[in-house]
Amino acid sequence: MTENTHDPIIDTASAWLAQDPDETTRVELDTLIRDAAAGSEIALDELHARFDTRLSFGTAGLRGRIGAGSARMNRVLVSQAAAGLAAYLRAREHAPSVVIGYDGRTNSDVFARDTAEIMAGAGVRAVLLPRLLPTPVLAFAVRHLAASAGVMVTASHNPPKDNGYKVYLGGADDGSQIVPPTDGDIAEQIERVARDENVLELPRSTSFEVADESVVDAYVAATSALLPRDAEQLSVVYTAMHGVGWETFSRVIESSGYSGIASVAEQQEPDAEFPTVSFPNPEEPGALDLSFALAREVGADLIIANDPDADRMSIAIPDAESAEGYRQLTGNEVGWLLGWNAARAAAATDVSGATLACTIVSSPALGAVAKEYGLNFVETLTGFKWVSRVPGLVFGYEEAIGYLVNPDAVKDKDGISAGVAFLAMAAEAKREGVTVAQMLDGFTETFGFFASDQLSVRVTDLSLIAALMAELRDNAPTTLGGVEVTQVDDLRDGSSDLPATDALRFTLADGSRVMARPSGTEPKLKYYIDVTGPADQSEKARAVLASIRDDLDAFSTRVAER
């Protein structure tokens, strides 16, 4: 410790401490304040890390590490968010209502109850879901209960120490996540509360409602309808990834009269510590190791994995060439098959205005499917808040393992209904003597060869991302992978079909495509590479993909080393 002049951050932290209702974060913050006041540079730096900024409320709501401070997730921040959202809703309509859900992460139930009490205290009809449940059930409940809004307390597949706060809107928004300018309007109200109010003095009420089981029953009924009761039986391994998916998924399966589901016991029940995975995301290396082991033991035909709040879904299939005996499909591969299945169904029933949609960083293969079946095709900005709003949508997906297969029930990605829909598709294929791997081969034979890859350039200096994007704009590559770049679209200023976003799209002479954009959640620039070619020239296309990746890597390295 060294003698220190008084830093104003100590006063800021002390003011926060005075309105913190949580004993755990109060003790944590009080210790930091005392140590900083006594001269600890480490404590002072930590206070600056927690209070120099504030978790911003955007289209993804709030998300961050749990702890004391304006830059962390805690009861003060959540109370301010709830009060701000309540004010927004009351200004929007005469008698607003909100339904609130929560998952199994640390403090999810506490944050949800705080929200319910503050909403009720502000005169908003508040309905709390009966227990921890998947995000898709909350998204379903917004429409099912005709609520003005929905709040889901979850950090989805973020690291274990994180939590978050996701907002949906009913009415004309039809249960979709918020988009601009709504996020900015809500953020203004939250900032007003943070500036002018003490959260301990906010009106609270315990007169909120607790929804009964009929909401969950309705979701189960809507989702189980995706799986025919006479579906061919497959041996399936399922993992909830220590999240909240198992109870709801198993109820849906049982309601369909289906058996043969083996759950990964070590990951079946909600556990906020996520003890068997280093990162609770099915896409992460090692996350499916226990699923692979169980699948080998039972000889599974299919592995279905949800992320912790069950809004995402991943698939793995038998593969004799893999060391694990199974191969995890990419998000695009799953999207192709589900999209193909949805297109066939829409074409067979002649659905007027039927549309397939995916994000701009997902594979363009879905467009080929739509064209083949005479359907509309729309590409949106990244995020399901955009996909879910596409008119006439019958299926939508994003390559980050998010799928919307039942838009009449849920206007958001739904890992449970997607898992059920994939199981139904695989079961029907098995009845016809076809495996999932053969279905993928059939896709290539029908629509051509498509392959995708990503390259992430992680940085410690955020200014480097801006430098990379500037260089890509000012000195765009004229060739990539030995193929001419024929067109460069700068999406920063918006276009006729997309709102403005910081992204570049490179179109190559052979139909390949590269998207470049800064990550919205991590300090890195991401390249999304998609190549295509005739079914009989897959090796050539793979070589082009690898060469494009090498060129982008070399380009980024040169800029970074300047």
Q: Active-site residues: which are they?
A: 156
- Give exposure, 167-195, as e/b (b: 16+ Cβ within 10 Å): bbbbeebebbbbbeebbeebbebbeebbe
3-state secondary structure of 126: strand
The CA distance from 408 to 223, in Å, is: 10
CB 58 within 8 A of CB 183: yes
Q: What are phi and psi of 98, to 5 degrees?
A: -145, 140
Alpha carbons within 13 A on the beta-carbon side of 125: 12
Q: What is the DSSP letter of 172?
A: G
Amino acid at 415: G
Instruction: Locate all alpha helices (DSSP H) within 393-537, ordered by sequence.
Output: 415-431, 436-447, 463-474
Cα–Cα distances in angstroms (integers) from residue 405 to residues 47, 342, 418, in the given order: 45, 8, 6
Burial of 239: CB neighbours in 10 Å, binned 0-12, 13-18, 19+: buried
Residues contacting residue 469 through CB under 8 Å, at least 6 positions apart: 502, 504, 516, 518, 525
Q: Measuring CA to CA, which residue among 382, 367, 328 is closest to residue 528? A: 382
Interatomic CA distance for residues 175 and 168, integer angstroms: 6
Exposure string for 255-284, b = 16+ CB within 10 A, e = fewer: bbebeebbbbeebbebbbebebbebbbbbe
Residues 334 and 314: beta-carbon distance below 8 Å = yes
CB 382 within 8 A of CB 398: yes
Identify which of 88, 82, 25, 79 has the alpha carbon closest to the alpha carbon of residue 51: 25
DSSP string across 378-414:
EEE-SSHHHHTT-TTEEEEEETTTEEE--TTT-SS--
- End-to-end Cα spacing for the chain: 39
- DSSP H or E segment with residue 187: helix 182-196
For 145, 217, 248, 259, the CA distances from 251, given in Å and listed in that order, are 21, 9, 5, 11
At 450, list the tokens. Answer: 């498509």
Cα–Cα dist 275/536, whole Å: 45
The span from the CA of 450 to the CA of 542, in Å, is 9
According to DSSP, the residues that pair with 306 across neighbouring strands are: 313
